[in-house]
Amino acid sequence: MTRVTAKRGDLTEFETRVDEDVVIVAAAVKKVTRKNLKDSERRAVIHELLQGSRNGELRYGDLKRVAKMFGISWHSVSRLWRNYTTQKGQGVLDPNLGSKRKGNSGRKGVNIEELKEKLRQIPQRNRTSQRALAAQLGIPKSTLSGNLDKLGVKYYKKCRRKKDNVK
C-alpha cells in the first residue's frame, strides 16, 4: 500500500506501510521535464518502448511509464514512437530518430566563397578601408570584420595619437 502524503515544492514524500507498526517514508525528487533530448536518449526511449511492446503494439500505460522514467511529456514519447513505427513501416532498417533542430537552428552565416569572388572583382584602390570594402561587397562592416580571416584579407588598424591636453 503506497500513498502520497505531502507535496512540498519539488519533493514528494511517499509512505509505505509494511506492518501496523513499521512505516517507511521515502522522498523522491520530482523530475523536471526538459525540451530537447539527446540522440542517445531518444534511442533509449524507443528501446524501452520496444521492451514493453508485444509485436510492435504498446500496452496501456507504456507511454506514460516511459515518459515518467525519462522526465519528458507523454506526447514527446508518442511522437518518437510514431516516427519510429512510420520509418519501420517504410522499410528503413535503422530509423533516424535524431533531432530535427540540428543544423537548422542558430544564425545563418554568409557565403564566404561568394564574398571571395566579389572581392577579386573589386580593384585595390576601392578597398583601402573596412568601410569602403564593406560598401563594395554590399555587407555590413561588422559582418566583414568578423570574416576578414576567412576571406584572407589582412587588416592593419591605423593608430591615432591622442593629443595631450596641457593647459
Q: DSSP letters along 100-159, please?
A: SSTTTSS-----HHHHHHHHHHS-GGG-SSHHHHHHHHTS-HHHHHHTHHHHT----PPP
Do residues 42 and 34 make contact, with C-beta atoms less than 8 angstroms apart?
Answer: no
Q: What is the grid cell recorded at 140?
A: 555590413
* 65-99 pLDDT per residue, tens: 999 988 888 998 999 999 988 988 888 777 878 77
What's the whole-model pTM score? 0.49
pLDDT at 111: 86
Residue closest to 113 by CA, chosen among 152, 85, 66, 155: 152
> Mean pLDDT lowest for which of 21-25, 46-50, 56-60, 129-133?
21-25
pLDDT at 110: 84
Please determine, for residue 136, whether its predicted confidence score (pLDDT) is greater than 50: yes
Residue closest to 42 by CA, chosen among 22, 13, 72, 14: 72
pLDDT at 60: 92
